[in-house]
Structure 1
Amino acid sequence: MTEVHVRTTTPTDAPSPAQRITALADEAPPLRHRSPWPDRRRSALKHLGLIALCALMLYPLIWLLVSSFKPTDLIFRDVSLIPSEVDWTNYSEGWNALQYPFSRYLLNSAAIVLGSLLGNLVACSMAAYAFARLEFRGRKLWFAVMLMSIMLPIHVIIVPQYILFARLDWINTFLPLIVPKLLATDAFFIFLMVQFFRGIPRELDEAARLDGCGHGRIYLRIMLPLSLPALATTAIFTFIWTWNDFFSQLIFLVRPDMYTAPVALRTFLDSTGASSWGPMFAMSIVSLIPVFLAFLFGQKYLVKGIATTGIK
């Protein structure tokens, strides 16, 4: 009989994973080194474009600041950003040019802003909690009605409001500008907070109910502390919009002692005589300082609030 010898392969005869990877690497074509310069040029061009766009947007503000230091007769004759003549009296004259010192109008604006801030933060957050957490009949319908009210321009409702406030004898007071904020009339902020509240897990509410908390304690101890970004966004937008509001304040505030900063700035213009452009520009810069500071210190909260609410 013929003996047949069969050779069996052992695991040691097969190539190891490291040897396979080495063999594949040897067979693969060499990779070309990619130069980082195209990416750097693209990034540099992008930043230069953003800088140019930023300079274009800031040019009116810079021109306003420079013009506030020019004599009135040179403001429109010399449009350069480097004044040929500096006049520091524009600020002192503008501060005392009107019937009352300009500080009076700044304080009036601050009072309205403070009341509007308090009203929007409390009333809008409570309305948002109701839409986001409470179950009641017609909730979706009333939420849709609330959203539709955002599309109503102020010019549509200003006449009925004026008639109502005139019958209540509220004209020439701050009440028409503050009381509506206490009734959650800013639907945008309600929608903003509803979106944020919906992102908070309901398990926190259920755990609080097991501990004996009602809706009031859940709202105060859970919802409000967790919704600080949305509250900060509401506060910043309310401050800027209320401080810069001109139309509503012009309608409801008639006496000079009740004027706010935007309305007082309008009185520097005279359609029948000479307008005090230099003092008006100087007081415009003074009026912009609170808005600039609010945006500067609240920018990170503003971005975080918009990102986390999602307008999603």
Structure 2
Amino acid sequence: MATQLMTPPRPVAVRRTARRGGPAGRVVRVLIVLVLLCLVLYPLAWMVGNSLKSPTEIASNTGLLPKHWTWGNYHDGWFGLPTVTFGRFFLNSLIVSLGVVVANVASCLVTAYAFARLRFPLRKLWFAVMIGTLLMPNHVLVIPQYILFRHLNWINTPLPLIVPKLLATEAFFVFLIVQFMRGIPRDLDEAARLDGCSPYGVFRHVMFPLVRPALVTTAIFSFIWTWNDFFSQLIYLNDLPKKTVPVGLRMFMDATGQVSLGPMFAMAVVSLLPVFFFFAAFQRMLVEGINTSGLKG
């Protein structure tokens, strides 16, 4: 009798719907995501709106949309600086950013392969030392590096910004790739060695094709961080035609503190486009690289 009165278990789909709150719960979650999205995108929309306002309206109109559309800010920002256009800054930033991307990917990949797959004396100690460098503030090294690069006559050239990356100085990216490689079964290495591959052959034909998501992640972060870097580029690049986009935006403020707000906002919007397109082109591989590199919560 007790068996007949027992309520049959509900299907799995029904239980999941009950836990999630049904259609009302989904609507609430969507609304929360939309609110958070608006909060995140509001500063960007405010900057785009200010790029289309006149200087007086920027000070008086705090809304997103301008009352009078001033498209001339983009022309003034691109051609408004003396002796050089803003396109020159774009070219300089592109050279530095791509150079850093290539240097970081190549050096960090080789270093990570050594830590993850090779056996050499004090390997764990050197790996711990490398991780420890993440705790060191970059500003501690500014003066010694500047003195070294000055003796090498590299000041006012892109070399101080690119060449150090060839030495795998970015410990974060080395750790990222090491974690990715540790998730690859060692059976693949053994199979390659049985087929006659040397350590270089294993690296070239086995590891390199499998770690591409981690390499794309390294490339994207390297590009974004270098493109937005202001401090290092301000120190090592002195002449106006050699400056990059972040330093070029500072040129809209003169020595008296007067700021050309409209053109500055316009060029700030334009400077975001390369980062946006670079991220959008490799977004899927970026997410895959992070999710499979031991960085999940």
| Same fold per superposition (TM over 0.5) | yes
Q: Matched residue of 1:155: which SS?
A: helix
Identity of aligned pairs, percent? 52
Mapped to 2, the partners of 1:216 and 1:101 lie a distance apart of: 46
| Cα deviation digits, residues 202-238 of structure 1 (max 9, x gap) | 1111111122211112111111101111011001101
**How far 1:58 moved relative to its partner?**
1.0
1:1-312 paired onto structure 2 within 5 Å: 26-29=4-7, 38-99=21-82, 100-311=84-295
Consecutive unaligned residues in structure 2, runs of 5 or more: none
The letter for the 2-side match of 1:257 is P
| Cα deviation digits, residues 138-161 of structure 1 (max 9, x gap) | 100000000011111111111111
Mapped to 2, the partners of 1:149 and 1:47 lie a distance apart of: 42
Mapped to 1, the partners of 2:213 and 2:257 lie a distance apart of: 49
| Cα deviation digits, residues 50-86 of structure 1 (max 9, x gap) | 2111111111110000110111111121011121000
Of residues 94-103 and 124-133 in structure 1, the stretch that sits farther from structure 2 once superposed is 94-103
**How far 1:275 moved relative to its partner?**
1.2
Q: Matched residue of 2:62: which SS?
A: coil
Of residues 87-96 and 25-34 in structure 1, the stretch that sits farther from structure 2 once superposed is 25-34
Of residues 34-43 and 186-195 in structure 1, the stretch that sits farther from structure 2 once superposed is 34-43
Mapped to 1, the partners of 2:226 and 2:181 lie a distance apart of: 25
Of residues 36-45 and 115-124 in structure 1, the stretch that sits farther from structure 2 once superposed is 36-45
Q: Which has the larger radius of gyration?
A: 1
Q: Matched residue of 2:61: which SS?
A: coil
Consecutive unaligned residues in structure 1, runs of 5 or more: 1-22
Mapped to 2, the partners of 1:97 and 1:162 lie a distance apart of: 32
**How far 1:249 moved relative to its partner?**
0.4
Change (3 A) 1:217 1:84: same
**How far 1:29 moved relative to its partner?**
4.4
Alpha-carbon RMSD:
1.9
Q: Matched residue of 1:98: which SS?
A: coil
Of residues 101-110 and 38-47 in structure 1, the stretch that sits farther from structure 2 once superposed is 38-47
Q: TM-score, normalised by structure 1?
A: 0.88
The letter for the 2-side match of 1:293 is F
